[in-house]
């Protein structure tokens, strides 16, 4: 019943058709590769924008969560707010000591509880109004009274008793207890006359009217969700106008895409999240017109051990391994970690070996253990320590305690962090040699098991600010949760009386040198107790195009990072390279687009014409 139609009689016609088709395809390929290829492949986009504006485009891997400084949590958002709004004080680019910002000077009362700031008179909001102490007072008071407004920075004002502005240039803050971090208030000051109209702070994202009124070095002019943020230079900025006319943060979800965009000149700067991978850095170092900034970082990367989760009242919960309560075991574990290999193999040289808690770039607070105190890499000694502690190897080579329970630990790892996964592999093998089992538990959400105390070990790390108060406070007993499994300030449930005493002292110590000494003593104590062992300080690895950016200030200015600074130095000081507009202005993109569009149209028309011709011929020959 299946009737087979006679096969096409003309074989030659079929072959001819194939020939023609392949010819058309070849033409299309040639058109596609030759015509638009040249403008793009040879030189990166350097065309001057039509109006001669210089633009600095930064590729970022985060998208903005909120443009409201009261709600934003992400690093990108807070970085942008640093550019839009001035803070009371700033940190010097050279060594991070406090320098004037919106406030020119400040003094404390004798009882250490009243701080008086003098607000400068030459700071103007972008709508022409003068910035005064009234704005600062209003900002702080709003955070103190409105719950929604306290979302991002409420912790800064928790110790404030009263904030007033007795005159336009005087801001007075009364505290409940002495607080040494008053010269490190990272709170954007917003214009009262604009923000007092806001109804619900928890819902207002500051994205209704552009340009956004601010008094920082840049003014936010345009914003497209998950795409870009555009800022223009504030010519009236009191410290001096930025050299670049325009600053654009463009969102690239994929790190590789951002690096490729840098190569092609679509962007001027790539920050990496948190830094470029060693492979990317290595390949960018060999590229023309690209400089890789490999600088000391702000982060520490540590191995945390569970000291037994407990609440403020001392109620224990969670299921941390009891063996970790033995200091010898903790020391043995850390001594078996070959940090040199980690720096060489995992970070491939883009990190520095860990010592004390605070990274070395904060010179005044950095602490190193003395030779006798240091836990150097020594697997033999580690094995001996474990034997001493009563964990001997059984016949199968696994260490067991007196109760016969083998030493098996779990380590919490962030599923999105390749370093965690990589180091986890090494730890499994090193500790496996010691006879200890390790289960690497990688999760998207580590917070839950962490706060529930259901972990033995974990990869931990924080970015440290010039004022280290926050990262020190998370290890105090006051940071413990009120109820079991609740979120809390605490990072690793550490609660040590000696540490807490030192913490209270340093918070009330206004003399910088004395305070630094107290902090170092705290770091020493932390090192000795051994619940937080720093393995490395990862470098900040970034890259930018030298044909877009002539010079740019890092922080610290000798060697430091550019993106995510504690200040606006990088973008504010960046000087455009001669004859470059930097980044894509859309013009080159469109000219290529025209060419490609034309190419496609030609191909389609040619193909259509061919097909039509074929059809006519086939029906003619097929006519019966």
Partner 1 sequence: MSTESTPALLKGAAGVDGVRTDGPAPAGPSVRGPRARSTTAYLRYAAGKLAGAAVSLFAVLVTSFFLFRLIPGDPVKQMTGGRQVSTEQIAAMRKEFGLDLPLWQQFTEYCGKALTGDFGTSYQFRAPVMDKITEALPATLLLTGTAFVIYTAIGIWLGARSAWRNGSAGDRFHTAFALTLYSVPSFWLGLLLIITLSVGIGPVPGMFPTGGMESGSGSGFAHVLDVAHHLVLPVVTLVAVEYARTLLVMRSSLLDEMGSDYLTTARAKGLRDDLVRRRHAVPNAMLPTVTLLFVNLGNTVAGAILVETVFSWPGLGGLFYQALSVPDLPLVQALFFVFAAAVILMNTLADVIYPLLDPRVGR
Partner 2 sequence: MTTTTDAAPAIGPRALTWARRRHAAARFWRQYRGHRAGLAGLAVLTLIALTALAAPLLVGADSLSVTAAPGGPLEEPSAAFPLGTDQFGRSLLALLVWGTRVSLTVGLLAAFLSVAIGTLVGITAGHFKGWYGNVVMRITDWFLVMPTLVLAIALATVLSRSLWTTVLAIGVTTWPTTARLVRAQTLSVESRPYIERSKALGGGHRHIMSRHVLPNVMPLVLAQTTLVISTAILTEATLAFLGLGDPTVVSWGGLLQDAREAGAVSSGNWWYLAPPGLAIAVVALAFTLCGRTIETVLNPKLGGSR
CB 414 within 8 A of CB 458: no
CB 290 within 8 A of CB 546: yes
Q: How far apart are CA 363 and CA 571, in angstroms?
A: 24
Residue 461 three-state SS: strand
280 contact choice in partner 2, partner 1, none (CB below 5 to 8 Å, kind-dependent): partner 2
CB 449 within 8 A of CB 412: yes
| Torsion angle of the four alpha carbons 323, 328, 331, 333, in this order, in degrees rounded to the nearest 10 | -40
According to the binding rule CB under 8 A, does residue 421 interact with partner 2? yes
Among 210, 238, 426, 470, binds partner 1 (CB under 8 A): 470
Q: How far apart are CA 105 and CA 100, in angstroms?
A: 7
According to the binding rule CB under 8 A, does residue 607 interact with partner 1? no
49 or 386: whose CB is closer to partner 1?
49
17 or 525: whose CB is closer to partner 1?
17
CB 522 within 8 A of CB 528: no
Shortest Å, Cβ 1 to partner 1? 6
Radius of gyration of the chain (CA): 31
318 or 435: whose CB is closer to partner 1?
318
277 contact choice in partner 2, partner 1, none (CB below 5 to 8 Å, kind-dependent): partner 2
Among 22, 48, 155, 167, binds partner 1 (CB under 8 A): 155
Among 594, 601, 604, 613, binds partner 1 (CB under 8 A): 594
Interacting positions 308-367 with partner 2 (CB under 8 A): 341, 345, 348
Q: How far apart are CA 493 and CA 35, in angstroms?
A: 63
376 or 600: whose CB is closer to partner 1?
600
424 contact choice in partner 2, partner 1, none (CB below 5 to 8 Å, kind-dependent): partner 2
According to the binding rule CB under 8 A, does residue 450 interact with partner 1? yes
Q: In 165-269, which ranges are continuous DSSP H helix?
A: 192-195, 255-264
According to the binding rule CB under 8 A, does residue 208 interact with partner 1? no
Write each residue from 253 to 282 as x if it is in contact with partner 1 (CB under 8 A), else as -, in one continuous string.
xx-xxx-xx-xx-x----------------
CB 529 within 8 A of CB 304: no
CB 567 within 8 A of CB 557: no
Shortest Å, Cβ 543 to partner 2? 11
Upper half-sphere CA count for residue 264 (Cβ side, 13 Å) = 16
Interacting positions 487-506 with partner 1 (CB under 8 A): 487-489
Quote the strand ranges of 271-397, DSSP E.
290-295, 299-305, 351-353, 392-393
Shortest Å, Cβ 470 to partner 1? 5
Q: At what angle do helices 278-285 and 255-264 cross, to 10 degrees?
A: 10
Shortest Å, Cβ 452 to partner 2? 14
According to the binding rule CB under 8 A, does residue 111 interact with partner 2? no
Shortest Å, Cβ 436 to partner 1? 27
150 contact choice in partner 1, partner 2, none (CB below 5 to 8 Å, kind-dependent): partner 1
What is the H or E stretch that residue 40 is in? helix 37-41
Among 99, 415, 508, 605, binds partner 2 (CB under 8 A): 415
Among 234, 419, 554, 585, binds partner 1 (CB under 8 A): 585
CB 388 within 8 A of CB 381: no
619 contact choice in partner 2, partner 1, none (CB below 5 to 8 Å, kind-dependent): partner 1
According to the binding rule CB under 8 A, does residue 256 interact with partner 2? yes
According to the binding rule CB under 8 A, does residue 10 interact with partner 1? no
21-60 burial, b at 16+ Cβ within 10 Å, e below that, comes to eeebeeebeebeeeebeeebeeebbbeebeeebbbbbbbb
Q: How far apart are CA 563 and CA 244, in angstroms?
A: 16
154 or 168: whose CB is closer to partner 1?
154
According to the binding rule CB under 8 A, does residue 609 interact with partner 1? no
327 or 465: whose CB is closer to partner 1?
465
462 contact choice in partner 2, partner 1, none (CB below 5 to 8 Å, kind-dependent): partner 1
Write each residue from 215 to 254 as x if it is in contact with partner 1 (CB under 8 A), else as -, in one continuous string.
----------xxx----------------------xxxxx
Residue 418: φ, ψ to 5°: -65, -30
What lies within 8 Å, CB to CB, of 530 at 6+ separation is 305, 327, 330, 331, 334, 375
Among 54, 280, 306, 581, binds partner 2 (CB under 8 A): 280
CB 338 within 8 A of CB 508: no
486 contact choice in partner 2, partner 1, none (CB below 5 to 8 Å, kind-dependent): partner 1
Please report, as ranges, the residues that interact with partner 2 according to CB under 8 A.
254-260, 263, 276-280, 282-283, 341, 345, 348, 413, 415-416, 418, 421-422, 424-426, 429-430, 440-444
């Amino acid at each position: 019943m299946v009737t087979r139609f006679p096969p096409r009689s003309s074989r030659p016609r079929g072959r001819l058709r194939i020939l023609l088709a392949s010819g058309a395809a070849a033409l299309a390929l040639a058109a596609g590769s030759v015509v638009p290829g040249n403008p793009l492949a040879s030189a990166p986009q350097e065309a001057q924008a039509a109006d001669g504006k210089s633009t600095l485009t930064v590729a970022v891997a985060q998208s903005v969560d909120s443009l409201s400084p009261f709600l934003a949590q992400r690093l990108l958002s807070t970085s942008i707010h640093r550019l839009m709004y001035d803070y009371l004080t700033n940190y010097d680019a050279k060594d991070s000591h406090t320098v004037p910002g919106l406030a020119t000077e400040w003094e404390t009362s004798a009882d250490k509880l009243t701080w008086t700031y003098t607000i400068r008179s030459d700071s103007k909001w972008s709508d022409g109004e003068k910035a005064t102490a009234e704005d600062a007072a209003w900002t702080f008071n709003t955070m103190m009274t409105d719950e929604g407004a306290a979302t991002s920075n409420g912790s800064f004002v928790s110790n404030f008793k009263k904030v007033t502005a007795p005159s336009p240039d005087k801001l007075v803050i009364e505290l409940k207890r002495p607080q040494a971090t008053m010269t490190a208030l990272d709170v954007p000051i917003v214009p009262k006359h604009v923000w007092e109209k806001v109804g619900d702070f928890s819902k207002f994202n500051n994205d209704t009217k552009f340009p956004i009124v601010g008094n920082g070095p840049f003014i936010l002019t345009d914003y497209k969700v998950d795409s870009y943020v555009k800022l223009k230079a504030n010519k009236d900025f009191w410290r001096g106008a930025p050299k670049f006319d325009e600053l654009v943060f463009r969102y690239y979800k994929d790190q590789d895409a951002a690096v490729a965009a840098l190569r092609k000149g679509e962007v001027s700067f790539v920050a990496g999240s948190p830094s470029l991978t060693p492979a990317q850095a290595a390949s960018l170092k060999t590229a023309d017109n690209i400089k890789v900034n490999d600088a000391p970082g702000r982060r520490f990367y540590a191995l945390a051990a569970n000291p037994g989760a407990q609440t403020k009242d001392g109620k224990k919960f969670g299921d941390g391994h009891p063996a970790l309560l033995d200091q010898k075991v903790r020391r043995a574990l850390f001594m078996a970690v070959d940090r040199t290999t980690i720096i060489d193999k995992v970070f491939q040289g883009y990190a520095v070996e860990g010592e004390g808690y605070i990274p070395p770039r904060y010179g005044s607070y950095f602490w190193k253990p003395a030779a006798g105190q240091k836990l150097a890499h020594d697997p033999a000694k580690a094995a001996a320590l474990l034997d001493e502690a009563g964990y001997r190897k059984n016949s199968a080579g696994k260490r067991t305690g007196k109760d016969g329970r083998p030493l098996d630990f779990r380590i919490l790892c962030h599923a999105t962090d390749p370093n965690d996964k990589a180091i986890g592999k090494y730890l499994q093998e090193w500790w496996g040699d010691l006879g200890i089992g390790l289960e690497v538990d990688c999760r998207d959400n580590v917070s839950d098991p962490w706060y529930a105390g259901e972990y033995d070990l974990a990869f931990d790390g924080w970015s440290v600010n010039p004022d280290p108060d926050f990262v020190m406070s998370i290890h105090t007993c006051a940071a413990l949760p009120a109820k079991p499994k609740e979120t809390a300030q605490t990072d690793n449930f550490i609660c040590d009386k000696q540490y807490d005493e030192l913490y209270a002292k340093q918070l009330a110590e206004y003399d910088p040198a004395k305070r630094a000494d107290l902090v170092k003593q705290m770091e020493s104590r932390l090192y000795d107790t051994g619940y937080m062992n720093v393995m490395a300080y990862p470098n900040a690895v970034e890259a930018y195009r030298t044909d877009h950016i002539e010079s740019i200030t890092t922080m610290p200015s000798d060697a430091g990072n550019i993106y995510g600074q504690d200040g606006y130095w990088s973008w504010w000081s960046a000087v455009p390279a001669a004859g470059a507009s930097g980044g894509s202005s859309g013009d080159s993109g469109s000219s290529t687009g025209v060419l490609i569009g034309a190419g496609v149209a030609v191909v389609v028309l040619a193909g259509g014409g061919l097909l039509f011709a074929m059809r006519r011929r086939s029906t003619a020959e097929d006519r019966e």
